[in-house]
Chain A
Amino acid sequence: MILTESSISKKNLLVMSLAFISGFIIMSIELLGGRILAPYFGSSIFVWGSIITVFMISLSLGYLLGGKLSLRKPRLKQHGTFFISSAFLLLPLILFSNQLMESLFLIIEDPRYGSLSVSLLLFFLPTTVLGMIAPYSVRLLVINSHHSGHIAGTLYFVSTLGSALGTLVTSFYLVLWFEVNQILISMALILFAAGFLAIFSDKNFSENKLSVDSTS
C-alpha cells in the first residue's frame, strides 16, 4: 500500500516534470522563432504576429488531439512517443530552415504571408505534438473525477511556469551564450531524453496499475 502511494507520487513527479519541460521548450522555441525569421522577414510586428498565431493554432490543435488520444489506454509509453516525435519534428527547423526561407522569400513577396507560411512549415508540426502533452498528462494523473480539476490546475501551473522560465532563460541568457541552432539541438536532445525516460518508466508504473486502480 505504501509502495503504491509512493509510486503514484513518483509517477506524478515524473509527469509534472515532463509537463514542465514541454512548457519550457515550447516558449523557448517560440522566442527563437523571431530570431530565425528575422534575416528573411525582418522584425516587424507582423513577423511576431505570424509566429504567435502559428503557435496558438498548433497548441490548440495539439490539445484537441492529445485529449482525444487519452481516451483509449493512456500509457506513459505513448506519452514518451510525443516527446520523441517532437524532437524529430524539430530537425527540419534545425537543418533546413534557411533553405526553406530562401525559397519562400522568392515565391512570396509580402513579408506578412511569407513569415506566416514559413512559421506554419517550421513550427506547426513540432508545436502541435508538444501541445498534445498537457491534456494527455491530465489523463495520466487523474484517478477520479473528484480531483480532476485539481490535477488539471496543477498541471497548467507547472507547464505554464515552465513556459515562463523558458521565455526568461532563453531571452536573458541562452541567446547570449549559444547559437540559435545549439539551443535548438539541446532542446531536441532534452525532448528525446524525456521521451525515453517516460517510456522506460512506463513498465515500473504499470506494474502497480492494478493496485492503484483498486485504491481509487
Chain B
Amino acid sequence: MATRTSRFNPYWLLVAPAVLLVLALYVAPIVNVLLLSVTDPKPGLGNYAKIFESDTVANLIWRTIRLCLITTVAAVTLGYAVSYAMLHALSGVRRRMMSILLISFWISVLVRSFAWLMLLGHNGLVNGALLSLGIISEPLPLMRNELGVLIGMTEYMVPYAILPLLANMQGIDPRVTSASRSLGASSAQTFFRVFLPLTKPGIIAASLLVFISSLGFYVTPAILGGGKVQMIAEYISVQLLVTVRWGVAAMLATLMIASVLTLMYVLNRFMKLSVVFGGVAR
C-alpha cells in the first residue's frame, strides 16, 4: 500500500487528457456560471439570503425535496419488489425481465410523460374505461396535479432503483437464507431478519441514487403538473430565460450541485460508486 501511494502511477497519463478536457470544457464554464450567484445583480450573498427571505424560494426548495422523497420511497419500494422477483426468477425469465427493464430505461422522458397523459389523463384510457363501466361518474383527477407528477417521476425512477438493488442482492450468499430456513425460521422471519438487513447497503444506495436523480426533474413536472407543481429545475429555467435573474438561477444551481455532491459523497461511503454505476466492486 505504501509503495503504491509514494510512486507515480503511469496510468494517470492515460487518463490525463480526458481529465484536462473535462476540467477545461466542463468544470471551468460551470464555475464561471456558478460565480454569477455571488456577482449578479451585485456582489455579495444577496441571492443566498433569498432562501430565508423569500417564501417563493423556500417553498420551491421544500416542494422539490418533498416530491423527491416521496418518489424515492415509492420507487425503491417498487424496485425492491421487482429486484427480489428477478433474483428468484429462472435465468431465462430474468434475462427477459432485464431487457424489458433496459428498454424502459431508454425511452425518453418526454415520451413517457405524454404516454401517462394518454393513459391517466382526463380523456385517458383508464378514465374512459371506468366511466364506460359506470364505476365513476366524473373523470378522476389523476394527471395535471401533484399525484400525476409523482406517478410520472416514480415510473421513471424505478429502473434506477432496481439496478443497484439487484447488484446488491446478487452478492448475497443464497446459503444464508437456506440456513435460516433449516434452522426453523419461517419464510417471513427469514426475509425480515436475514435477507432485508443484508440488503441495507443496496437500499441506501438505491435511495440516494433515485433521490439525486429526481432533484433535476424538469419535463415531468412541467407536463404532468398542470403548471402548478414547479420544481427547482423549471424555476431555474424561468429565472434564466424569462425573468432574466441569472443570480437567483445560479444560486439555485449552486445549491443543487452542492447537495448532489454531498449526497454522492455519502453514497460512496455506503457503496462504491463504481458498483452503483455498473462497474466492478474492488
Q: Do A and B bind each other?
A: no
